[in-house]
Amino acid sequence: MLTFYHCPGTRSGSVHWLLEELGAPFETEIVRVTEADGAPESYRAIHPNKKVPAIVHDGVRVHERAAIFIYLCDAFPAAGLAPPIGDPRRGPYLSWLVYNDGVLDPVIAAKFGNWQYEKRGVSFGSFDDMVSNLNATLDGTPYLTGDDFTAADLLICGGLNFAVNFTKAVPATPAIKDYLGRCMSRPAFARAVAKDRAAAA
C-alpha cells in the first residue's frame, strides 16, 4: 500500500510526476498546506514540519523529496529511473537528487525573495554558480547523468520549470530551455499535470 501526501501546485508535484513514471499503484491524500491555517496538526505524524510531499509505503514513512525519490526508485526498479548500485552513473544521480534540495531550491527561493547573503556563509552557495553548473552540464549531455532520463532529471526539471516558466527567476538559456522541453515531453508529465489541474479545480 502506497499513500502519497500531496498539495497540487506545490513542490510535491514532482513526486506526483515520479509516481506516474513508476506506474506503481498509489492513493493520494490531499493536504491543503497553502490554506491560511496550513495542514492540520494531526498531519505532523506524517511530516514533522507539516509540509508536502510525504509518502507512507507499507507502513514506512518517508519525507523530503530527495529521500522519497531514492526510496521509490529503489522500491520500484523495473521503471529504470535510477542507475543501480555499481553503475558509474549512480554517484552523479544521487548527487543531483540532493543538489536539488540542498542547492537549487534554496538559491531559487533566495533569488525570488531577493534575499541578500554572503555565499561563503551558507551551505547552498550562489545563484550564479547554480546556473553555471546547470549550463555547463547540459551543454555536453542531453540529461544530467548522460544519454538516459533518470529520476534526477525529473526532480531538477520540476523546480526549473517553475523557476524558468513561471517566476522567471532562472534565465531560459538554450541549454536549459532544450532540457526542459525534452523532460516535459514525457507522457507521465502530462498525466500528472492533468490530474493536478482536476484536483485543484
- pLDDT for 91-112, tens place per residue? 999 999 999 999 999 999 999 8
Which helix (H) or strand (E) is 38 found in, with range? none
Tell me the C-alpha to C-alpha distance, in Å, between residue 30 and each of 4, 10, 97, 149. Answer: 8, 11, 24, 28
Q: What percent of the chain has pLDDT over 70?
A: 100
182 has a pLDDT exceeding 90? yes
Burial of 125 (0-12, 13-18, 19+ CB in 10 A): middle
Average of per-residue pLDDT across 43-69: 97
What's the order of all strands across the beta sheet hosting 27-30? Answer: 27-30, 2-6, 54-57, 60-63
200 has a pLDDT exceeding 90? no
Local confidence band at 201 (pLDDT 50, 70, 90 cut-offs): confident
Question: What is the CATH number assigned to the segment(s) 90-186?
Answer: 1.20.1050.10
Is CATH 3.40.30.10 what the domain over 2-80+188-200 is classified as, yes or no? yes
Tell me the C-alpha to C-alpha distance, in Å, between residue 53 and each of 50, 105, 141, 181. Answer: 9, 15, 30, 25
Ramachandran sector of residue 50 (left: φ over 0; alpha: ψ -120 to 50; beta: rest): left
More confident residue, 86 or 201: 86
pLDDT of residue 34: 87
Choice among 20-24, 131-135, 145-149, 195-199 with the minimum mean pLDDT: 195-199
132 has a pLDDT exceeding 90? yes
- Going from N- to C-terminal start, the domains of the chain cover 2-80+188-200, 90-186
3-class DSSP state for residue 152?
helix
32 and 52 in contact (C-beta within 8 Å)? no
User: Same CATH topology for 2-80+188-200 and 90-186?
Assistant: no
Q: Is the dihedral of CA 193, 84, 65, 32 positive or negative?
A: positive
Average of per-residue pLDDT across 8-16: 95
